[in-house]
Amino acid sequence: MPIVDPEIGFTADVIRDPSRFVGRTSLIRDCISALNAATGLISVYGKRGVGKSSLLRQIQQMALGEYALARRAGLAHLIPQRQRTYLTVYYSCDSLIRDGKDLLSRLCNDQNAEDGLLRLVPNDGKEIVEFIRSKEVSGGADLKVINWGAKGVESSKYAKVVPGDTVQTFRNFVDAIVVHQVKGRMKRDGLLIILDEFDVIEDKAGIGSLIKSLTTPEVKFAVCGVGRDLADLIQDHASVERLIEQGVLPVAPMPLAESEGIIHRAAELFGGALKFSPGISGRIAELGQGYPYFVQLIGKQCVNEANTSGTSIIDDAVLDRVIADLKTGRAFPTLESAYQRAIGDSPGRQLLLHLFAEQVTEQSMFTDEIGRVVLKKARQVAEELDVQFIDQLMPRLVEKRYGPVLERVPERQGTYEFVNPVLRQYIRLRSLD
């Protein structure tokens, strides 16, 4: 049997290629209308591993005029005759960005050749070429820098750097981009600035009003991050209220049928090289619990297992071996090491963590409560099982340097949430030693 590369069908990376993106039809519909509104802010939020960044990359494609995904999703009738098209900037924030000004300064200095803002600032000697982000023939072009020029990156004839005034410098950059690249060179409607991992910015005070003041018919922002609503991303969201009528995009866990779709899509991508027995996609989807990340990981591991056992059919036996390896911590090293770091060699803590992971949320009317776990309940069971010193077991589970696996829910005493819902699902499936 020839070895099959699992990456052909499965990936743990953000999905950039529209032909690998599965489901999410109603979100795509909302993206179409948000992109085609003249002004407005796009906000994407949801839990970790649920598929936010992948959706953002698809928004970027559609902003360039690449609507193959929407057509495949049966939404061709919603694509306007005269689409609004953009040039795009994509930036992932990190926790060293303190506040809004810091963010603008980062944007003005980011030298990413395909996604950065600085790449689009026209400048003597800089060489900028068109390129296509997808494999689709219809793909809309974006711009990338292939040569920053002899004068270095900061000297610019067209956009003035104002020392000590980040906001003005940013405005100058954006104005120059709109005049020379968006309108002049590429004849587009606007510039779309996509900001991923927005939730990690420490001090979000005033960011809403900053974004509002920078938003025009030619400049649109999309912000994305972990959260349950827009307020988690933008604290002063009242200031952007009128901008958000169209672009609010909550990314929920995937329905089972869509998770199965990931396996079907992978089967297509593998062509004849690999087959999946009937029922396998359903089982994997069930294990993934709506988290496409976990579905992709399990799929990938099934391919590895099939390679090892010299078969080209992923059947129940192959999947059972993957699950057996999962239970003993051998299948998914990244999740396993997060798990080990949290329990730290303590059987008591391990048991407690499993009790948390397995807690079922009572059917409640508040969707907010879904996924939350309660110490009191875990404590009761743990005590019945003779686990001692529970209060000494807890701190490691919430301390940053050990993950953390759990996060306190500030407004509710004794209530916690798994930081990474995929890790929670992993713990549910894993055996206690």
Ligand X SMILES: Nc1ncnc2c1ncn2[C@@H]1O[C@H](COP(=O)(O)OP(=O)(O)O)[C@@H](O)[C@H]1O
Cβ-based nearer residue to ligand X, 20 or 220:
20
Among 292, 299, 403, 404, binds ligand X (CB under 6 A): 292
Cβ-based nearer residue to Mg ion, 30 or 196:
196
Q: In degrees to the nearest 10, what's the CA dihedral of 167, 169, 171, 176?
A: -170
Residue 50 near which of Mg ion, ligand X, none (CB within 5-8 Å, type-dependent): ligand X
Cβ-based nearer residue to ligand X, 192 or 263:
263
| Residue nearest to ligand X as judged by C-beta position | 51
45 Cβ partners below 8 Å, 6+ apart? 52, 199, 224, 225, 226, 227, 228, 229, 230, 232, 233, 249, 250, 251
DSSP state for residue 30 in the 8-state scheme:
H
The yes or no reply on residue 318 touching ligand X (CB under 6 A) is no
156 Cβ partners below 8 Å, 6+ apart? 121, 122, 123, 176
The yes or no reply on residue 148 touching ligand X (CB under 6 A) is no
* Helix ranges restricted to H, 215-332: 230-233, 256-270, 280-288, 292-308, 316-327
Binding to ligand X, residues 258-287 (CB under 6 A): 262
Cβ-based nearer residue to ligand X, 294 or 416:
294
Per-residue tokens: 351: 């048991």
Three-state DSSP at 263 gives helix
Three-state DSSP at 408 gives strand
Q: State which H helix or E strand residue 132 sits in.
A: strand 127-132
**Which span sits near ligand X by CB under 6 A: 21-29, 86-94, 155-163, 275-283?**
21-29
The yes or no reply on residue 53 touching ligand X (CB under 6 A) is yes
Contact 209, 242 (CB under 8 A): no
Among 11, 36, 53, 246, binds Mg ion (CB under 5 A): 53
| Residue nearest to Mg ion as judged by C-beta position | 53
Among 293, 332, 356, 416, binds ligand X (CB under 6 A): 293
The yes or no reply on residue 21 touching ligand X (CB under 6 A) is yes
Under the rule (CB under 6 A), what is the footprint of ligand X? Answer: 11-15, 21-24, 46, 48-54, 262, 292-293, 296
Residues near Mg ion (CB under 5 A) are 53
